[in-house]
Copies of this chain bind each other. A is one copy, B any other.
Amino acid sequence: MLQNHLQLTCNTMSTHTHLSAAESLITAQGGRVTRTRVAVLEILLAADQSLTHDEIGLALAEQGIKHDRVTLYRTLDWLVESGVAHKMAGDDRARRFGVAASGPHEHAHFHCDRCGKVVCLEGLQPAVAVNLPGGYQLDRAELVLHGACPTCGKGA
């Protein structure tokens, strides 16, 4: 899980010009580098799976970063809008967020039906664009695979 080392990631005022990956991404999008944005993005970058708003909020709290529920929603929305993160709807009614590491919208997700975890499968590209009925214009395809993740599969 996430450590709570409290390692004072607030280096926006430091004399070093050292920029973390998160900070670079944010400035590249023309946004201001704020405590919340950096922390949220770092959490997403460090995570190997999609996280819900709630999970991210919890991680923020563990790092001692004070934040508001609404701010987190807006931060996540901004990240999605900027193309840095992507949003996806699961079977439960909570949306999950992850960093869009590869192409803009071209990767599949795996949803574990037992533990509810969602991971990104970068290597998979759905072979669609096939027999779509006439008149439909395809923008992007979203592929969600359901089943058991390695952890849950072993237990069975």
User: What separation, in Å, do the CA atoms of A149 and B138 have in the docked complex?
Assistant: 9
- Determine the chain B residues whose CB is within 8 A of the CB of A134 once the complex forms: 150
Task: Establish whether residues B124 and A136, one from each chain, have CB atoms under 8 Å apart when the complex forms.
Answer: no
Copies of this chain in its oligomeric complex: 2
Chain A contact residue count (CB 8 A cutoff): 38
Q: Contacting A146 at CB < 8 Å: which of B121, B123, B141, B145?
A: B141
User: A93-B89, A124-B132 are contacts. A143–B146 as well, Cβ < 8 Å?
Assistant: no
* A132 in contact with B121 (CB, 8 Å): yes
Bitwise interface map of A from 117 to 156 toward B, beta carbon under 8 Å scored 1, else 0: 0000101101110111111111111111111111001100
Is there a chain B Cβ closer than 8 Å to A68's Cβ? no
Residue A64, interface by CB 8 Å: no
Q: A residues engaging B (CB < 8 A)? A: 87, 89-91, 93, 95, 108, 110, 113, 121, 123-124, 126-128, 130-150, 153-154
Q: Known A-B contacts: A139-B146, A139-B147, A140-B147. Give 17 more (CB < 8 A).
A: A87-B91, A89-B89, A89-B91, A93-B95, A123-B133, A124-B131, A124-B132, A126-B143, A128-B143, A134-B150, A135-B154, A136-B145, A136-B150, A138-B145, A139-B148, A142-B143, A143-B144
